Structure formats: structure tokens, C-alpha cells
Amino acid sequence: MATTDLQGVSRTLLIPLACRASESARPDALLHDPRAAELLRAIAGGKDSLMGMGKMDQTFTILRACQFDRTARAFLDRYPAALVVDIGCGLDTRFDRLDDGRMTWLGLDLPEVVELRRSLLPDSERCQTLAKSMLDLSWLEAVARIGRPAIFLAEGVFVYFNETQVRSVVTALAGRFPGGELVFDALSTLVLKMHKRHPVLKKTGAHVDWSVDDPLELESWGLRLLDRWGYFDQYEPRLGLANWMRYTPIVARSNFVLHYRLGI
């Protein structure tokens, strides 16, 4: 399996990898991920792997990854031998960034993606992958067999599905793993419409479909909102003049990472 064989949403896995590799080379890096740089070289990925992502978009991608890492690390601090489930794991290297020597990581992605991933990042005792669509809920059985406190991460995933599909997965998690936690990023309806014209979607053929305007409304799915993190919550020097957006609510509160407890 080569990266050129990936189509649609599967092809977008190259973007966060290229962003992390590029970020790691900066003297002011917000995230250090030398493994990402190794992987990008292994697949002969260059600037084309960014697929039209501008510098600002790259920074947003890194800020998002940092927030997912912080949330997962806090969970592992509370449950050192816990399970981290990466839904739509792609070529993520989060296991390397988070490993405390006791955690277990389970990555879930489509068969063609997992085939590529395993050729570059072979499974190990505490770092496993499942070759399934997230919509094939049989993967929940594998999580249940591991039998550890679990946090589910869906970074850059749910936006590509419709509400019915996302809800089927989320409600299944809430019903099966009460007390676990779920983290995902979401866009407001306004920003989703703007993203439909993003060059990345044109290059990959992927489509964005699902938006969230009020995170509290999702509590009816069997969730309890723990945190809503936005890119402009705090001043970030790397964002430069874009920091002014934090004073414009319609923008500042339109692109966020949501953290929920499963099963109220």
C-alpha cells in the first residue's frame, strides 16, 4: 500500500503528519515529534503532503494536536495503566509522545490505512491497531476485552461524517463504556460552510459534513461536557495578528476541541 493509493478522507492522514514533522524542525516548536519526521521521509513525503495547507492552518493543526495530547496525558495521570483509543489514527505517533511505560494504545482506521501504518509502524505489545471503519461497531468488543479505563480520541475525524453516523458511534460508546472519556474536535455551522471550499478537500476529494453549534446539546447523547477548548482561548504568539479573533465571539467560539465523560 502506497500513500498515492489512498483516496478521500484516508488521504488526509498525510496532512497532520507533515505538520508535525515541519513543526518539529522549528526552534520554537510547540510540539516535538521526531518520529513524524522519520515517517515523512520514509514515505518520501514533501511539501505536497500539506495539500495546500497554509502556515496558519498548520499552526492550528499543531495547537489541536497539543490539546489532544494534554487531555490524554491528564487522563493517564489519573489512570496510569489506561487505554488510549485513537479513532482514525492514520499515521499518528501519539503513542510515542504519551507513553508512560504502562499505557496501552489502540488505533482504529480503515483497512487500507492500517495496512500502510503497519508497514511503517508495526504493532507491538502495548501499541495495537484495528483495521475497521469506526461505523463497524464490532471494534468495541476489542476495547471491552482490554478492560481498562479508556479515553477515546477522534482528532480530525467526526467532521467528515454526518450527524447520524457520529451519533451512532458516540451513543454506543456512552452505553458501553460509562465513566470513560471522549475527545473530538468540531466546527460550527458557519465555519463548516467555509471549510467546504478549503483546498485540502479539493485535493483529497474528502467532504466535511457535521457541525456543532452548542456542545451542551450533545449531552442528550449520553455525555457530560467536561471542557470546551478553543484556539483563541489564550493569546498565542505564533498566531500573530490572528489573535484578534479571540475578541470576535462568532469566530472565537466556532472551532474547538470538546471533552466529554461517557455515560452521565
Neighbouring residues of 5: CB distance < 8 A, sequence distance ≥ 6? 112
Alpha carbon distance 216, 220 (integer Å): 8
CB 151 within 8 A of CB 181: yes
* Single-letter amino acid code for the residue at 253: R
- The DSSP call for residue 66 is H
Q: Please report which confidence band the pLDDT of residue 250 belongs to, taking 50, 70 and 90 as the band edges.
A: confident
Percent of the chain whose predicted confidence (pLDDT) is above 90 = 66
β-strand partners of 214: none
Name the architecture of domain 3-262: 3-Layer(aba) Sandwich (3.40)
Q: Specify the pLDDT at position 83.
A: 97
Q: What share of the chain is helix, strand, coil (3-state, %, to 5)?
A: 50, 15, 35
Alpha carbon distance 72, 174 (integer Å): 18
Mean pLDDT of the chain: 90
Phi first, then psi: what are they for 175, rounded to 5°? -75, -30
Q: Specify the pLDDT at position 88.
A: 95
CB 221 within 8 A of CB 158: no
pLDDT single digits (tens) 72-121: 999 999 998 999 999 999 999 999 999 989 999 999 999 999 999 999 99
pTM metric for this prediction: 0.94
Task: Name the more confident of 86 and 195.
Answer: 86
CA neighbor of 154 nearest in space, from 36, 33, 257: 257
pLDDT single digits (tens) 61-75: 999 999 999 999 999
